[in-house]
Chains A and B, each alone.
Chain A
Amino acid sequence: MQNTLVRESENDRILEGERELIAEILAGNHERYYELIAPIERRVYYTAYAILRTEADAEEVSQEAILKAFRGLRTFRGESKFSSWLLSIVGNEARMRLRRRREVSLELLKSPDNEGEYTPIELAEWREIPVEALAQKELAARLEEALAALPEIYREVLILRDIDELNIAETSAALEITVPAVKTRLLRARLMVRDYFVSRSWARHTGLRKAQP
């Protein structure tokens, strides 16, 4: 309870600070827009990257979104954080570009529309995953493969939450899905990435395949 109150007043303080900064920018002190952007440019970039998966496109879309937010700053209502607003612009721009980039693609076909129950692989021990046996480079490759194997809707949410460390509300804004949908997808994404990682690691180390009873 105490913590919630602290967090709320902290939040109010941030919103207040942002409102003042935005008022100044709108009054013509444009250079201060950098201050508004600086703390979130990394999150902006990686939101775009989570969706587009190429550096060049992610950077272009980040710039477009940051520019769009500047031009539309007058329309920002200030009810939510500026970061959530900007992230939703970035998410939108990135998705638009993605749609343009591919009319029909295998990715789309792979994305399941079914977001129901998911049953993870059963392990007797975490140690069954031969992490220590994997060289650093190989570990990185296995993780990358696991991430790439995820259907897009799960990969996006996983990157935003667990790599970019956006919070649930920011992720929901960036992907334009509801908070419960973020949570449902995240659960599925986390279990799936674990399973992909586990099964791929086994495949390479057949000696360490599922423990014999």
Chain B
Amino acid sequence: MGQAHWIKKGTAMITLSCEEVRREISNYLDDDMSPRMRRLLEVHLEQCRKCAVLLDSTHNVLVLLADEHRFELPAGFSLRMRHMLAKEFEKAKS
């Protein structure tokens, strides 16, 4: 797959195989691809339920993961860091 083939209306279309789509899923989520590739991928996703579900589920798991890890810095982190630096600045002066 992945080579040009002709669809009914006579327009040349390149189609992506499921494998090619899978390889690009991460880039797609990061919006890191050419507009052309993006179009091709979206055409495939409209027609291929399997790949659409793969994309959705991956995206959803990542969203859940990020939500679950609204990391806060440990309490007092910045303060301790400033303390440590203040000592260093003292040394640097002398």
By secondary structure, the B interface counts as helix
Decide yes or no whether A149 CB sits under 8 A from chain B: no
Q: Mark B50-74, 1 if CB is under 8 A from A, else 0.
A: 1001101110111011101101011
21 inter-chain pairs at a CB distance below 8 angstroms, sorted by A residue, are A30-B93, A31-B89, A37-B85, A41-B77, A42-B71, A55-B74, A66-B84, A120-B22, A122-B54, A124-B53, A129-B60, A144-B68, A158-B65, A162-B66, A163-B66, A168-B32, A187-B25, A187-B27, A194-B57, A194-B58, A198-B57
From B65, B77, B80, give the contact of A147 (CB < 8 A): B65
Decide yes or no whether B40 CB sits under 8 A from chain A: no
- B residues near A143, Cβ cutoff 8 Å: 61, 64-65, 68
Given A126-B56, A187-B26, answer yes or no on A45-B77 (Cβ-Cβ < 8 Å). yes
Decide yes or no whether A177 CB sits under 8 A from chain B: no
Decide yes or no whether B1 CB sits under 8 A from chain A: no
Contacting pair B60 A126 (CB below 8 A): yes
- A residues near B66, Cβ cutoff 8 Å: 162-163, 165
Decide yes or no whether A52 CB sits under 8 A from chain B: no
Contacting pair A197 B61 (CB below 8 A): yes
Decide yes or no whether B8 CB sits under 8 A from chain A: no
- A residues near B39, Cβ cutoff 8 Å: none
- The 4 A-B pairs at the shortest CB distance, nearest first, are namely A187-B26, A30-B89, A194-B61, A126-B57
By secondary structure, the A interface counts as helix
From A46, A66, A139, give the contact of B71 (CB < 8 A): A46
In the complex, the chain A residue whose C-beta lies closest to that of B55 is A126
**B residues adjacent to A (C-beta < 8 A):** 19, 22-23, 25-27, 29-30, 32, 49-50, 53-54, 56-58, 60-62, 64-66, 68-69, 71, 73-74, 77-78, 80-82, 84-85, 88-89, 92-93
Question: How far, in angstroms, from A117 to B17 measured CA to CA in the complex?
Answer: 14
Within 8 A of B (CB), among A121-172: 122-126, 129, 131, 139-140, 143-144, 146-147, 158, 162-165, 168
Decide yes or no whether A191 CB sits under 8 A from chain B: yes
Contacting pair A123 B53 (CB below 8 A): yes
Contacting pair A59 B80 (CB below 8 A): yes
In the complex, the chain B residue whose C-beta lies closest to that of A124 is B53
- A residues near B65, Cβ cutoff 8 Å: 143, 146-147, 158, 162-163, 193
User: Distance in Å from the Cβ of B74 to the closest Cβ of chain A?
Assistant: 5
Within 8 A of B (CB), among A82-132: 117, 120, 122-126, 129, 131
In the complex, the chain B residue whose C-beta lies closest to that of A161 is B30
Given A30-B92, A67-B84, A187-B26, answer yes or no on A139-B57 (Cβ-Cβ < 8 Å). no
Question: How far, in angstroms, from A158 to B64 measured CA to CA in the complex?
Answer: 13
Question: How far, in angstroms, from A198 to B30 measured CA to CA in the complex?
Answer: 22
Question: How far, in angstroms, from A147 to B68 measured CA to CA in the complex?
Answer: 11
Decide yes or no whether A190 CB sits under 8 A from chain B: yes
